[in-house]
A and B are shown apart, each in its own frame.
Chain A
Amino acid sequence: MSSSEGTAAGIYGERFHGTEAAADLPPELTSPLEPQWSNLHAPDARSHSSAGVPRRNGLRAVKTLLRNPNALFGLAFLGAVVIAALTAPILYPDDPLSMVATPFLWPGQDPAFPLGSDSLGRDVLSGILWGSRISLVVGLAATALGLGVGIVVGAVAGYFGGWVDDLLVRVIEIFQTLPSFVLLVVLVAIAEPTVSTITAGIAIVSWPTVARLTRAEFRALREKDFVVAARSLGYGHARIIFREILPNALPPLIVTSSVMVASAILMEAALSFMGLGDPNVVSWGSMIGAGRELIRTAWYLTALPGLAIVFTVLSLNLIADGLNDALNPRLSEER
């Protein structure tokens, strides 16, 4: 495929891939050695041609995102948290729950324990570094799970409509009416708290938002020309849903997923603060919960893990805001 053709397909492919004119067929399909019977195998030829279209959406969005100072700060801080989570086992190979220091060291009092130690002599810095692992794992896994379920349900409801839509909307409505944190507490309390049940619980309370959003996008997009064209080419429902409509419905979903990670981290923190966290791992919420009783004498035990939560969630929200600006075509046209 020549480069100029690729660029043109890249620009128009963003919204109209699958509808290229016959002239855009890649050379290998029109070569004399392999005669093309497009009247016989039109759908195959078309799917072959549209399969080779490079997808370049997002490049401009990434550039816009990187020009936004707030989003850059968010990306940098989140990067630091990811590095902390990855290096925690190297820097602090010991169990963060083991007693290593004199109890109640204030931050800065002993250079070996820069952030001090708690009432049992556990290193606060080690706890915060290890805690970032739980927050990130739960945040990312719950979001991935919630996005997966929400996108499938929302896509099916929005694409097919009719009684399927009515039924799924009812289910979504039920889950949106149940107070989500109360439901999460009930779910985790019923299925003993572990990292995986907490993740599943957060996914269960967060998928309806995604489903609603996806459904709205699919309803708006399913009558568009490029979808009608894809349908007339004989593409199956799955192909139209996932390859044609979904890429065009992605921008709001990407923004939502960043907010979802943030709120999943907040929910995990609140759960483990209430003593409903996984008892075998240290998390920021459980550190706050443990420090709470000592708030009069050693408030740093509560303050430090809380600051870790605030800045991690803040950076995710800054990224979400930046993504929103970058992916919103109306705003990016003006830049």
Chain B
Amino acid sequence: MADLNTQPHATAARALSPTDELLLVRELERFVAFELNLLDGREFEAWCDLFTADGIYWAPSRVEQDDPLGEVSLLYDDHEIRQMRFLRLRHPRVHAQVPFSRTSHMIGNLTIDEVNEDRGEIAFHCRFVMHDYRPEWAQREFAGRYDYRLVRDGSSLKIKLKKATVINCDAMHFPISIPL
């Protein structure tokens, strides 16, 4: 599954004019801010709608993990599992989320890796910090790297792959209920 790994692509952004790069970075930042606001606002169904039909959300269990199929992951959600995950979060007896987590996702250091005009795909990465607080539990902080592969769908962008690599993804964790 090497194509799931967006390798740094030094030449990609350079192919863009400085103005185009600036505009694209701003567009991507706005997209990610919109996406993360949906998670923090508990608008999970709208968050799911940002993915393509075959879109994947992946959080590896090891920083170097490059195979999401032959090795276990914290999350590896396709459309079907995302539906299950959020149906569950809407259930009145989702005990692990009563009371529910309040989260705050932030990003920075956004870097474009590849712009593929033919496929209409954009690959980029950024750093993220996510705080998760559930009343009666200690507030937790997750930090790491997002790798995105977006595809242009008319005038909007859709997520083909979002990979969230937490720097301590191989540590033991208390339950993680909201996507990182």
Task: Tell me whether A and B are bound partners.
Answer: no
